[in-house]
Amino acid sequence: MPKRENMAEVLVERPREGVALVRINRPEVKNALNMAVRRLLAEEFRRLGENAEVRCVVLTGNDAAFAAGADIKEMADAGAIEMMLRGTHRLWQAIADCPKPVIAAVNGYALGGGCELAMHADIIVAGESARFGQPEVRVGIMPGAGGTQRLTRAVGKFQAMKMVLTGRPVSAAEALRMGLVSEVTPDAQVVETALEMAETIAAMPPLAVMQIKEVLLAGQDASLGAALMLERKALQLLYDSRDQKEGMRAFIEKRRAKFVGK
């Protein structure tokens, strides 16, 4: 049986070797992101990021919703100072800073904060019925956790403007064409597809995986010259790892490599 830790609104499982499955568990409100869930997600991603036994993380909701957005009831009467003091950006940052690859497995709604949460992942696997959107403008506000910035970097100015200014969601097929998701699969296979992908990544040399993620993300906001230098330095660093020696010897000897993360 997989190891499982139950918390009221976030469930954490270890369904496969090297893989953690984090599940948002507020089905009664379509997994709306209240402050409690945000804090629990931040705590879990910090803990999983430091756990050497975890090599890849899958983040999901349920069949009806990945996360239908922020919990409006917690926000409706808030003022500017209160919103600032909540420090939700620090909770989001804990997910963005996770050194392990993160795969979002999205069924149903990924709207507002839910869409932004998915965009904190490195790979997004979506079910055919999934819907992605940034509808904040419809309630008098705007995206505040990456909906104007990560979205633009993913799909470009013109598609992002259309989504955030109209508030209209897009289908999984549209999201794939726009570059917002990595893969679309039948709804019933979303989590399994994400877990299989996570298992593949978990079998790779952990140091190389971590360096790939770090350099790819850092390079997005750097000049091409600076980004290429980051890439070269990371590659050179990996030649001092045991996994590099093991991987290349295994290739030459025509056997399966055993990577230990050193």
Catalytic residues: 70, 113, 116, 136
d(Cα 92, Cα 102) in Å, to the nearest integer? 14
For 143, how many CA atoms within 13 A lie in the half-sphere containing its CB? 26
d(Cα 1, Cα 156) in Å, to the nearest integer? 44
Q: How many CB atoms lie within 10 A of CB 245?
A: 12
Closest CA to 56 of 116, 98, 7, 28: 98
Torsion (CA) 132, 40, 94, 213 in degrees, nearest 10: -60
Enter the tokens of residue 166: 């109209």
- Across the strands, what pairs with 20? 57
